[in-house]
Amino acid sequence: MSADPPSSPLALAARRHADDVIKPQVRDWERAGAFPRDAAEAAATDGLLGLFAPEAVGGQGASLAEAMDVFEELGRGDAAYAFALSMHNAVANTIARFGQPELCERYAASLVSGELLGGFSLTEPHAGSDAAAITTRAVAVDDGWRVSGRKAWVSLAGEADVFVLVCRTGTERGTGDVLMLAVDARTDGVRVERLYDKAAGAFLPIGEVSYDEVHVPSYALLAPAGQGMRAALGAIDVARVDIAAISVGLAAESLAVALDYAREREAFGGTLLDLQAIQFALADVETDVVAGRLLYRAAAAALDDGRGSVLAAHAKRFCPDAALRAAIACSEVLGAYGLLNEYPLARFLAHAKMLQVVDGTTEVQRIVIARDLVRR
C-alpha cells in the first residue's frame, strides 16, 4: 500500500520531483543553508507551484481532491521543502482568486511560473494560536494603507517576493477589523529582523519580519476589514490538509526505509524482518499510513464541497502525530544507524514535530473538533 503508484499525473510529477530533485539534493541543501530556488523552478515546470490557481494564469486549476496526493509525494522527499511549496501554493491561489485585476497581473502568473515566491504571514511574536491577538496595524490612507508591526515565524523570510499579510485596522483584540493584504517584500520599510537557527530544515529560511510604515496600494486588498480572519482561516484549512498529506508521505517513506533495512539486516540467524516484533511495529505504521491517507483525502473532498473545516482539523490532528510515531518506530528498526544522516529518519523525527505545530497545533485542532462535538 505504501508504494502505491501515484493516483494522478500531478501526483506522478510530484513523485518524480521527490525522487529526482529532492532526495538526491536535500542533504546538500541542508549543508548550504540556502533555499533551492532552482528546485522550486523545476517544480513549477511540473505544475506544482500553481496547483489550485486557475488555468487563466497558468495554474492547474485542480480541486483539492485531485491535487492533495501531490503533498504526500513531496512529503516522502522532505517535509520542510513540501511545507514551503504548500505556503507558496496558498499565496498563488489566494492572489489569483481573490486579488484585484492589477494585483493578479503583477503577481499571479509569476508565482505560478516560479519566477516569484510567496509567503503567508499571520503569526506574531506574541500571537500564535491566539491569532485574534495580532497587533500589526494597517492605517487607511488615500491610496491604500500604511502598515506597521512585526511578524514571526515567517516562512521564506528574505526569500519570498510577496507576502499575504493578515493585519488589523484598529488596536483592540478580536477579528472584526482584521483584513488581508498582499505586500511586495521589496517595498520600503519591510525588513527581515532575524532568521531562526532551527534543528532541521536549514535551507528553509524562517524568521521575523518588521513593517515600518509600509505603503500598501489599494489594489493589494485581498479581504476587507472584518473578513480577513475568515479568509485566512479558509486558506489555513486547505494548508492543514496539505500538512496531513505531507505527514502521510513522511510516514510512508519512513516505513519504506525501515522495510528495506530490516530485509537486509542479518540478526539471530535470519533478518530483522523475520522477527515478529519488528513486523508488528511496521504493521502499526502501515495502519497509520492507510488511515491517514483516507482521512486527508476525505478532508480534501469535503473542503471541495465547501464544508470540511472539522475534517481538516481531524486530519491535521491525526496525521502529524502518526508521522511522529512512524519516525520513532522506523528509526528504532535501524538501531544506531537510524541516527546517521545517510538515512532520513533523524531529519524526519524533527520534521514530524514541526508538522504538529505548523498551521495550528495539535491542541488547536482538538479545540476545533471539541467545539463541533459540543455544538452538535
Ligand X SMILES: Cc1cc2nc3c(=O)[nH]c(=O)nc-3n(C[C@H](O)[C@H](O)[C@H](O)COP(=O)(O)OP(=O)(O)OC[C@H]3O[C@@H](n4cnc5c(N)ncnc54)[C@H](O)[C@@H]3O)c2cc1C
Positions in the binding site for ligand X (CB under 6 A): 87, 119-123, 128-129, 153-155, 206, 354, 357-361, 363-364, 367
Position of cell 508565482?
111
Shortest Å, Cβ 273 to ligand X: 34
Q: Are 77 and 44 in contact (CB under 8 A)?
A: no
Select 196 or 219, whichever has its Cβ closest to ligand X.
Answer: 196
Amino acid sitting at position 42: A
Select 233 or 275, whichever has its Cβ closest to ligand X.
Answer: 233
Residue nearest to ligand X (CB): 128
Select 62 or 157, whichever has its Cβ closest to ligand X.
Answer: 157
Distances (CA, A) of 105 to 85, 97, 219, 361: 21, 12, 11, 35
Select 120 or 296, whichever has its Cβ closest to ligand X.
Answer: 120
Shortest Å, Cβ 348 to ligand X: 14
Shortest Å, Cβ 298 to ligand X: 24
3-state DSSP assignment of residue 226: coil
Select 121 or 254, whichever has its Cβ closest to ligand X.
Answer: 121
Select 21 or 206, whichever has its Cβ closest to ligand X.
Answer: 206
The alpha carbon of 114 is separated from its chain's Cα centroid by a whole number of angstroms, namely 17
Distances (CA, A) of 122 to 165, 236, 362: 6, 10, 18
Position of cell 533555499?
35
Shortest Å, Cβ 258 to ligand X: 25
| C-alpha span between 10 and 67 (Å, rounded) | 7
Select 11 or 154, whichever has its Cβ closest to ligand X.
Answer: 154
Burial 220-248 (b: 16+ CB within 10 A, else e): bbbbebeebbebbbbbbbbbbbbbbbbbb
Shortest Å, Cβ 363 to ligand X: 3
Position of cell 505527514?
247
Shortest Å, Cβ 87 to ligand X: 5
Select 76 or 88, whichever has its Cβ closest to ligand X.
Answer: 88
Burial of 215: CB neighbours in 10 Å, binned 0-12, 13-18, 19+ = middle
Task: Give me the DSSP letters along 236-254.
Answer: HHHHHHHHHHHHHHHHHHH
> Regarding beta strands 221-223 and 178-184, do their DSSP bridges make them parallel or antiparallel, or are they unpaired?
antiparallel
Shortest Å, Cβ 202 to ligand X: 12
Shortest Å, Cβ 250 to ligand X: 14
